[in-house]
Structure 1
């Protein structure tokens, strides 16, 4: 009898341990990712924040003085580049939505068995280095390249017309490089839709354009939200396209941070600009998410 009670007690103890361990399973699974973020994101961010409040120079070293005036000083010096970066990011984001939505819609609705092939074609440029892809645009937009050279030979543009070192060149390069980041979330959002919704809209005497505008588009807002996050944020902080395709009048805030940190050794100023840019982007994201609604944000995160 005592042996039976002992077996029951051991089974109850084992069951309790499994239940407690089961409740902690999610935390154990999240532990590696949490450690990775803590070591390679949180710790560097804390150090960067501390560095932005230091004073000194590269030769004599930096001292922690909690010098908050660095933020105001750097913003006053580089506010033009700051505003230009945000404007470029807005323009590029709008262009990628306009270009990516029809592309994603056609692949999701008309791609059939070749959907994977079409998506692979869109992703093929990622098999080439980001810098090399951007350098190709120098040849495309060169004064005597096959685009402008042909137009000049046909006398459609003047001999002095050029695109390199202009905002158009920078925006073209940014749009090309970040277009797939908009296509993929839009494709996922559209592909999940029930095709019978369009049939129901047509049965209610809605044209294809009305069905697209009033049925499909509202249901794909989560995909647009995800695409905007994946496009707007990296575009605003990009420096490669402005450096390779732009000029002195197209400098973005990423170029300023790059120069301050790696050329001028102004670590405090570069850190202050980085945190300011991050703060502005976060505020913009929260305002944008608030405008769309919490439910849409959660659906976008599920993509």
Structure 2
């Protein structure tokens, strides 16, 4: 009996590792290997011809210097656009998530379905649709011009605001859902208790709702900001050469210029900046309840 019990305990200790083995294998094949390959490429030098390029590993850190100096403007622009889009997503998503969580009643599932429904359409089609909506002869430009928000020769397409608008629309769903989950967890009795203690709506929001919704704010901000920084579709279709983001540069370096070491170095620079920003942000807001 002692031997059976010992065998069972041993299996119980091994079982968790066996369960995570497929996930570890997946990460190893599709993350660690490509990550190592990209790192090695970023430290290589280019050779051969345009049609048949060759890479030689040479610990060439000059690729990183070139990425930071020549494309600093695009890096800063990408972070600026992504941060602005994240703030807009938060401002748009919080009221909607609040209404769905507390006011929708039996229409809650319907509203959630309507929120998610447009995102069944592919990312590219939705972005091209925004190109049509924001066109110079479109109704949006005409309406804004009629109320004086745009000058007579003003436009939205091929501007920074057009790119930010596209980023906001395409990623806002990733802000709404985490916020809704966080708000739905709030016990309504806490809101009733705050009213019984004569708290105003503003004070109740600042002292009860917002602190309890912070896990959703943190998760939504990361889910919007991280992909928005590396996005290149919106800048390509809704922007111009003056609104180029770092994702556009990386794409062209890989597929058009075919300067693979510099493109790989820019990818690592972007990852490093994102990682540093995420660590600072999560440290400031905390991650204890982010599950």
Name the TM tier (shorter chain).
over 0.9
For residues 1-303 of structure 1, the aligned pairs below 5 Å read: 11-57=1-47, 59=49, 60-150=53-143, 157-293=150-286, 297-300=287-290, 302=291
Question: Any unmatched runs of 5+ in structure 2?
Answer: none
RMSD over aligned Cα atoms:
1.5
Question: Conserved in 2, the CA contact under 8 Å of 1:86 and 1:236?
Answer: yes
Q: Residue 152 of structure 1: CA displacement?
A: 5.4
Q: Do the aligned partners of 2:145 and 2:152 also contact (CA within 8 Å) in 1?
A: yes
The 10-residue stretch of structure 1 (115-124 or 57-66) with the greater mean CA deviation from structure 2: 57-66
- For the pair shown, which has the larger CA radius of gyration, 1 or 2? 1
* Distance in 1 between residues matched to 2:276 and 2:163, nearest whole Å: 25
Unaligned ranges ≥5, structure 1: 1-10
Measured after TM superposition, the shift of residue 22 of structure 1 is 1.2
Are the aligned partners of 1:57 and 1:266 in contact in 2 as well (CA < 8 Å)? no
Aligned residues: 288
CA contact (8 A) 1:58 1:266 kept: no
Partner Cα distance (2:217, 2:167) in 1: 18
Q: Deviations over 1:79-127 (max 9, x none)?
A: 0000000001110111111111111111111122222221111111221
Q: Name the CA distance, whole Å, in 1 between partners of 2:85 and 2:20.
A: 35
- Residue 272 of structure 1 and its aligned partner are, at CA, apart by 0.2
2:47 and 2:76 mapped to 1: Cα distance? 28
Q: Determine the C-alpha separation between the residues in 2 that align with 1:201 and 1:154.
A: 41
Alignment deviations for residues 25-75 of structure 1 (CA, whole Å, 9 cap, x no partner): 221111111111110011100110000000013625110000011101121
The answer on whether the counterparts of 1:257 and 1:270 sit within 8 Å (CA) in structure 2 is yes
- How far is the alpha carbon of 1:148 from its aligned partner? 1.9
Contact 2:47 / 2:56 at 8 angstroms: preserved in 1? no
Structure 1 residue runs of 4+, over 4 Å off?
Answer: 150-159
